[in-house]
Structure 1
């Protein structure tokens, strides 16, 4: 009998740890949304999951979304999307069919009266990588942090610390990029792909094919322009958002 009560006491002590280890589930299908959620929820015990196969680029995820069976998906507490700006990635309706209680968080348009919205230039198309504007990325992180803290108020302190840490990492990247462009006397920018326009515009430099030009590109090319090779987060690649920011700087320094 004594051993029984000892075992019961041990199980009682372990129960809170087990509950904390899996106290929530957050899902997403946009790589940038997944990395933001994962970074903000570090050390909370809340699970984050990227639903499509990791190898899929973001332009192929709409096809996966059309084929996936809601019956094969587990319910989630929160779904993080960018579907207000990228309507081809409508994850919330799918997850709502799994559980009516799921909470949507749209990083591109805050779901609140007068909510914040990412900046898009007038001629923007859906496929633009708007998070490459690091001001947009900061705003997306703030929206996610605010709403996740409301869903899990007991974790708000940890989420806020993670948000602040990410914000500082973004600021450091912005300072280093600006400093590098100044040191290299870059006068203008050009684009190998129009989807990189948000990054180019955020730097506040003229976009032209003439002058001492820095070419923003998704793939290295053999030409006379200095190049900035950019990973736009079109698939899950970097282990964390901070690693991706480091890669963004490294791509600029290659040439």
Structure 2
């Protein structure tokens, strides 16, 4: 074999060896907040972010979908992906990386809730009853800013060719998030909201982030409320004119009969993509009050 043919053969061997190591372009994730952050940071780069679960599935149902009907789809998506963005530190059951990695052993995980570095920053973790960790950290606007910073720093290292664009997008997102904090504070002030009763456990982070005093919690579905529950709730609102209700669901006629509608605040828990989705031009619309 002559020298030219030897060189050509060696080149083919090297190419076949390196091919599996080349990075794909896609980013995978499974929560609206991580999708929003990734989508905003990667604008103008050509890098696409894929939201894996069905839009109608809330965060409590996602793990089951991954383990059953979604498993094959996620493994296939993992084959052409570079990054999986998770909330692993606060949502220990986040299945995104575990399943997508089955399609690509070299997949990189970015945990938006806890940076993986020597001086790691993380979100403010809220511990609920029985030691359970709240996974709804994105309802605290300060956490939202921290999550964007964690993801942004890692994405710049993974895609150095897009570092300038990612940093510019990050600064723009920070501005929008600061405007969001101002809007939320103004809405809370206008409602003269000091103490609240929460109707959903998912709103603990919202109350904590906005420094609201939680005077009570009623997490049972309304259909399970006893007459005593209804009487107690009505009495509390008659006695304390500064008390407000915070719920993630549309106020029912029964609730409005017990509590004046102007004392009820509905907050989107953003636990699923749903029909509202996340609009690229107004990424924080669902966080506004």
Same fold (TM over 0.5): yes
Contact 1:31/1:235 (8 A) holds in 2: yes
Using the TM superposition, name which of 83-92 and 179-188 deviates more.
179-188
- SS of residue paired to 1:208: strand
Instruction: Give, in angstroms, the shift of residue 122 of structure 1.
Output: 3.2
Counterpart of 1:220 (choices 243, 247, 250) is 250
| Count of aligned positions | 229
Instruction: Show the counterpart of 2:222.
Output: none
Instruction: Show the counterpart of 2:285.
Output: 246
Cα separation, 1, equivalents of 2:57 and 2:148 = 23
Matches within 5 A, 1:100-111: 100-111=105-116
Contact 2:26/2:50 (8 A) holds in 1: yes
- SS of residue paired to 1:201: helix
- SS of residue paired to 2:186: helix
- Unaligned 5+ segments in structure 2 are 1-22, 217-239
Query: Judging changes above 3 Å, is the alpha-carbon distance between structure 1 residues 241 and 81 closer, same or farther for their aligned structure 2 residues?
Result: farther
Cα separation, 1, equivalents of 2:174 and 2:62 = 28
Instruction: Show the counterpart of 2:236.
Output: none
Please say if 1:192 is aligned against 2:210.
Answer: no
Using the TM superposition, name which of 182-191 and 227-236 deviates more.
182-191
Cα separation, 2, equivalents of 1:100 and 1:181 = 47
Higher radius of gyration, 1 or 2: 2
- Unaligned 5+ segments in structure 1 are 1-21
Please say if 1:98 is aligned against 2:137.
Answer: no
Query: Judging changes above 3 Å, is the alpha-carbon distance between structure 1 residues 33 and 71 closer, same or farther for their aligned structure 2 residues?
Result: closer
Instruction: Give, in angstroms, the shift of residue 83 of structure 1.
Output: 1.7
Calculate the TM-score normalised by the size of structure 1.
0.82
Cα separation, 2, equivalents of 1:84 and 1:72 = 25
